[in-house]
Amino acid sequence: MAVRTFIVTGGAGFIGSNVAAELGRREPGARVVVVDSFRSGSFANIVEACARRGMGGFTGEVLPESSARVHWQFQVDRLKPAAVFHLGAITDTTVADEALMLHENVAGFAAMLAACQEARVPVVYASSAATYGTPPHAGRREAFPEAAAGQPSNVYGFSKWLMEQEHATFQGTYPRAHVVGLRYFNVFGPGESRKAHMASMIYQLTRQLLSGKAPRLFKDGTQSRDHVSVHDVVDCTIHASGVFGGCPKPGVYNLGSGVATSFNRVLEAVRGAIGVPESSLPTEYFEMPEAVRRFYQDFTLADMSRTAAGLGWRPAREPAEAIGEYARWLKEQG
């Protein structure tokens, strides 16, 4: 088979670097082209993601550019990719500059879709559970079906929602185009250490415990999230392109574990894995500040039924187990 090329935007970030390295592992010799503005990403994420998979150095290409400014027609003609994985985005949900967020996360997406459609290149892009805001299902502690999204609580969620609208319009015009949007829920796992305050709660709590600090949770720790392992996220993202087999259907799908895990349960799994019991370092519960409360998602849970039916994919990892495994790994890293 001829050498295939894969484009990964956001490939220097947490999830993108894992996707880029996994593509190289699954198809040795493949050419992986990372497009990244390096706003929150780092070359070190790429190096480490390759090393974790026992690969030598990264042998691909890096375009240090925002996907909003890439000349997509030119790059698709030049690179002739087998698939584009579009994960590049401002991921700091506290960024208040709305024009910047919308420009970086949405501009260029329509041009990417058009260039890929012309060359029959599948596109998989990262959307987010932030497109839901707080749907009525949250109050009832029920899984979120895809149709419940559309009331995001911040401009980050709105930017992802706008991408989905571009996708819907595009898919209406080109029903055969292979475009898949994946609403990632709360992703955790190796490669997130450079996300600072945006790293997962699992990472934060493990680090607090390992450095001898009392873990801190909002009262009363029963808030629950759909925490999903980056290994499952990478697997589904690559699978959704269809370039490694299967018959995934275009559309927008949830990508979570399908399990809601409370922060108390997360902490219990972390404590168990790294051997720091409550008795040696008690949990500090504190009041949620009013400014946080207004936009806080108390409960998230992905309804994974359409993902199973449309993509033919199911998460393989049970969150509490995967959380423990990850915490142990963090401890080993020192």
Active site residues per annotation: 156, 195
- Min separation Cβ 278 and ligand NAD, Å: 27
Pick from 111, 112, 122, 110: which is nearest to 5 by CA? 122
- Min separation Cβ 226 and ligand NAD, Å: 10
Buried/exposed code over 90-110 (b: 16+ C-beta within 10 A; e: otherwise): bbeeebeeeeebbbbbbebbe
Return the number of the residue (31 or 86) whose C-beta is nearest ligand NAD: 86
- Min separation Cβ 329 and ligand NAD, Å: 17
Q: Which residues pair with 128 in a beta bridge?
A: 184
Q: How far apart are CA 208 and CA 326, in angstroms?
A: 15
Return the number of the residue (67 or 283) whose C-beta is nearest ligand NAD: 67
- Min separation Cβ 131 and ligand NAD, Å: 9
- Min separation Cβ 90 and ligand NAD, Å: 5
Return the number of the residue (5 or 105) whose C-beta is nearest ligand NAD: 105
Amino acid, single-letter form, for residue 15: I
Return the number of the residue (117 or 127) whose C-beta is nearest ligand NAD: 127
How deeply is 325 buried, as exposed, middle or buried, from its count of CB atoms within 10 A (0-12, 13-18, 19+)? middle
Tokens, residue 110 = 């329509």
- Min separation Cβ 275 and ligand NAD, Å: 27
Q: How far apart are CA 24 and CA 61, in angstroms?
A: 12
Return the number of the residue (181 or 250) whose C-beta is nearest ligand NAD: 181
Phi and psi at residue 81, to the nearest 5°: -70, 155
329 in helix, strand or coil? helix
Region of 313 please: left (phi>0), alpha (psi -120 to 50) or beta: beta
Spell out the long-range contacts of 195-200 with Cβ–Cβ below 8 A and sequence spacing 24 or more: 195/14, 195/40, 195/91, 197/94, 198/40, 198/91, 198/92, 198/93, 200/227
Q: How far apart are CA 276 and CA 209, in angstroms?
A: 7
Return the number of the residue (38 or 296) whose C-beta is nearest ligand NAD: 38
Q: List residues binding ligand NAD (CB under 6 A).
A: 9-10, 12-16, 35-41, 66-68, 87-91, 104, 126, 128, 184, 186-187, 195
